[in-house]
Amino acid sequence: GAVVSQHPSWVICKSGTSVKIECRSLDFQATTMFWYRQFPKQSLMLMATSNEGSKATYEQGVEKDKFLINHASLTLSTLTVTSAHPEDSSFYICSARSRRTGGELFFGEGSRLTVL
Amino acid sequence: EDQVTQSPEALRLQEGESSSLNCSYTVSGLRGLFWYRQDPGKGPEFLFTLYSAGEEKEKERLKATLTKKESFLHITAPKPEDSATYLCAVQARSGEAGYQKVTFGTGTKLQVIP
């Protein structure tokens, strides 16, 4: 149980294009989903928190208009990187918190974004 | 501000050589401490949750303990397949009511040599 699927696992795009990453909780309903960014040899940096049906809460320094988050249902959240630039290249990981468990987060496999 | 510090940054062990990883934390209103394992290019894999000082959890060769200021992840007789980065995270209540933030440490990269 507590499986989180993230897609795509890697994507290469041209500068200026937009990229959408999906995060699904496969066997549980996620009250809250989180989006993280991870640079090489660094820890996870929280970008935003999203609750189903409401606007995402962004961390300080994260551009809301650049990283669009939609949490349309209890099992799906999407992150859209708009007008991507090379500095947006990174490893993006989503996580979900279940209603049933004690608050631990379950992570997707991550999405490697490379912007040319 | 919540802080999580892990040590050492990297640890190299011979197969069978037991050791411990440390996670020190400073938070207001701890709601839970989590341990994760992360392999290169993958998302973190959940290992344990600890809620209160004195609590212990075990899973195969891993044992996690918690005090009021730190947590240890003990690895007994490690094998090469235990090589990974181990992340510690704390969940605490932020200023906004009902919003519980999770803060991660920078991890300990463990390498177990055959």
pLDDT for A80-112, tens place per residue? 999 999 999 999 999 998 777 667 889 999 999
Contact B109, B11 (CB under 8 A): yes
Gap between the Cα atoms of A90 and A110, Å rounded: 10
pLDDT, position A7 = 95
Q: Give the start-end residues of each E strand in chain A.
A: 4-7, 10-13, 19-25, 30-38, 44-51, 57-58, 67-73, 76-81, 90-98, 105-107, 111-115
Contact B74, B20 (CB under 8 A): yes
> Which residues of A fall within a CB distance of 8 Å from B101?
46, 49
Residues in chain A, overall count? 116
Task: Region of A110 please: left (phi>0), alpha (psi -120 to 50) or beta.
Answer: left
pLDDT for A65-76, tens place per residue? 999 999 888 899
> Are B87 and A106 inside 8 Å of each other by CB?
no
> Which residues of B fall within a CB distance of 8 Å from A46?
101-103
Q: Which of A7-21, A45-59, B2-16, B32-46 is the least confident region?
A: A45-59
pLDDT at B99 over 70: no
> Are A44 and B87 inside 8 Å of each other by CB?
yes
pLDDT for A30-53, tens place per residue? 888 999 999 887 889 999 998 887
Selected residue of A10, A44, A49 to mutate for chain B interface (largest B Cβ count, 10 A): A44
pLDDT, position B97 = 47
Q: Give the three-state DSSP class for A86.
A: helix
Nearest of A11, A24, A27, A48 to residue A108 by alpha carbon: A24
Task: For B4-32, give the DSSP string.
Answer: EEEE-SEEEEETT--EEEEEEEE-SSEEE
pLDDT, position B94 = 64
Distance between B105 CA and the closest CA of chain A, angstroms = 6
pLDDT at B33 over 50: yes
The dihedrals phi and psi of A87, each to the nearest 5 degrees, come to -70, -10
Q: Is the peptide bond before A86 cis (omega within 30 degrees of 0)?
A: no
Q: Is the peptide bond before A8 cis (omega within 30 degrees of 0)?
A: yes
pLDDT at B96 over 70: no
Task: Region of B19 please: left (phi>0), alpha (psi -120 to 50) or beta.
Answer: beta
Q: Which of A43, A57, A110 sits opposite B106 (nearest CB)?
A: A43
pLDDT, position B55 = 96
Mean pLDDT (whole number) for B6-30? 95
| Local confidence band at B31 (pLDDT 50, 70, 90 cut-offs) | confident
pLDDT, position A102 = 64
| Local confidence band at B95 (pLDDT 50, 70, 90 cut-offs) | low
Residue B81's CB is within 10 A of a number of other CB atoms, namely 8
pLDDT at B110 over 90: yes
Which is more confident, A58 or B102? A58
Residue A3's CB is within 10 A of a number of other CB atoms, namely 12
